[in-house]
Structure 1
Amino acid sequence: MKNTNLPQIIFDFDGTIADTLPALVDTIKKIAYNYGYSNVNITQEDIRTSSIKSILKKNEFSLLKLPLLIRQVLKELFNNIDNIQPINGIIELINNLNNIGFKLNIISSNNSSNIKKFLINYNLEYRFDHIYSYSGIFSKHKSINKFLNKHKLEKENIIYIGDEVRDIEAAKVSGIKIIAVTWGFNEHIMLKNHNPDFIAAKPNDILKFLEVYLEKIF
């Protein structure tokens, strides 16, 4: 029997909705230097072409200090959130999806205050039903599962949209569909090698995927 409900959509935030990569790289360098990492050499290209674990190893980051570093980075991003721009075309996509009737949510390792401030800046706060923020960068599947359980959502009725390999891995572990986008933190080849359900090169591609997907379930 075909599903008569529109699937709910979960967005990642950094790199998917907000173009935070340039600010993130600058902030990491600044915070890392303050914590005694004077030789940190991280570029946007490093993040787009390498795994998080390899970047941490290359720059000799201590895993014990990582949670504190992340908190400081997020705090600094909040102070600069007014300078963060949305991904080109993403506002139109969000508005279109919500107007069609899709329920939209955000799950992110960024903190909710950063996300809410950004959404308010671009008049998007009323477009999202839920914003779920979690700590840690290696436990996204647990956060997805908690979110689904809390709101009693069925896995087959969820589509996740993210820009990183770890988004694909988390979605697969959680048993939900994943659209990987190439404009964020990981490049096309890295994403493709992890076999997402669909790869979008621009926001409007997501609408095209959903049109085909909905034809199959209705």
Structure 2
Amino acid sequence: MAERGVATSQPLDLVIFDFDGTLSDSGDWFVSVANDLAERFRFRKIAPDEVELLRRKSSREVIEFLGIARWKMPWIARYVRKLVSREAHRIELFPGTPNLLERLVETGVKLALVTSNSEANARKILGPQHAAQIHCYACGSSLFGKAPKFRRVLRKMGVAPNAALAIGDETRDVDAAREVGMRAGSVLWGYAAEDLLRGMSPDALFRTPEDILAYVSRHRG
């Protein structure tokens, strides 16, 4: 785990997770349907040798590379949520996720989920036991609409921004956390490549779920 040397005296009370690519191992599934989406919504198809290239681009750069018109994005997101609902049985949690959620709850920290996926899909993939460990859901956000969802969760949970940590796997997760004044953590097992995430200088980089638990335990106060 890499952690920035910026000290904060505020104990950590809330962890807000992204879902796809952070808790849910949906990357291979998405690649498998990407070109069907491209055909349906008329954007550039992805060649097999371009997948790794796209992992080294920011979220906005990926959209530009694929030639996706901004006005199409809500329609694409809605369609993808329907696909996930039908094919949730093909998507599993990353190894170590169930144990991570259980042990985080034991520390006393509150957990929330902010995702562009639907709450129903997230609950289905998490399963009833693990879904119940999430204290607050704010789902269905637009691709670049996480900051308002973060603010809503903070208000609902009664937590100050500097007492919260947002954890995701893309550059837009870091951007949204900073916009709100939260700490930002990036996992290295998701969509974006490690060098791209390092370039964002998040407060922490997590190589394993155990790294997240160690960080939270150290910053609980």
Normalised by the length of structure 1, the TM-score is: 0.88
| Larger RCO (CA within 8 A; separation ≥ 6) | 2
Partner Cα separation in structure 2 for residue 33 and residue 11 of structure 1: 31
Match of 2:180 among 174, 177, 184: 174
Q: How many Å separate the matches in 2 of 1:125 and 1:85?
A: 14
Give the match for residue 195 of structure 2: 189
Structure 1 spans left out of the alignment, 5+ residues: none
Q: Does 1:131 align with 2:137?
A: yes
**Distance change >3 Å, CA 142–CA 173, structure 1 → 2:** same
- Equivalences, count: 211
Q: Does 1:41 align with 2:46?
A: yes
Alpha-carbon distance between aligned partners in 2 of 1:87 and 1:96, rounded to the nearest angstrom: 16
Could you tell me which residue of structure 1 aligns to residue 215 of structure 2? 209
Structure 2 residue 72 is matched with structure 1 residue 65: yes
For the residue of structure 2 that corresponds to 1:80, the secondary structure is helix
1:25 Cα offset (Å): 1.9
Name the CA distance, whole Å, in 2 between partners of 1:162 and 1:99.
21
Change (3 A) 1:130 1:47: farther
Structure 1 distance, partners of 2:146, 2:53, is 21
The aligned amino acid for 2:109 is F
Per the TM alignment, residue 6 of structure 1 is displaced from its structure 2 partner at its CA by 5.3
User: What are structure 2's unaligned runs of at least 5 residues?
Assistant: 1-8
Cα distance in structure 2, aligned partners of 1:6 and 1:155:
10
Mapped contact 2:112–2:137 kept (Cα < 8 A): yes
Matched, 1:93 2:95: no
CA RMSD for the aligned pairs?
A: 1.9
What SS does the corresponding residue of 2:69 show, helix, strand or coil?
Answer: coil
Distance 1:206 1:36, change over 3 A: closer
Distance 1:67 1:76 in 2: 14
Partners of 1:88 and 1:75 lie apart in 2 by 25
Q: Percent identity?
A: 26
Contact 1:27 1:77 (C-alpha < 8 Å) held by counterparts: no
> In 2, Cα distance between the equivalents of 1:21 and 1:150?
31
Equivalent AA in structure 1 for residue 106 of structure 2: N
Aligned-partner Cα distance in 2 for 1:213–1:151: 18
2:81 counterpart (62, 66, 74): 74
Residue 61 of structure 1 aligns to a residue in which SS?
Answer: coil
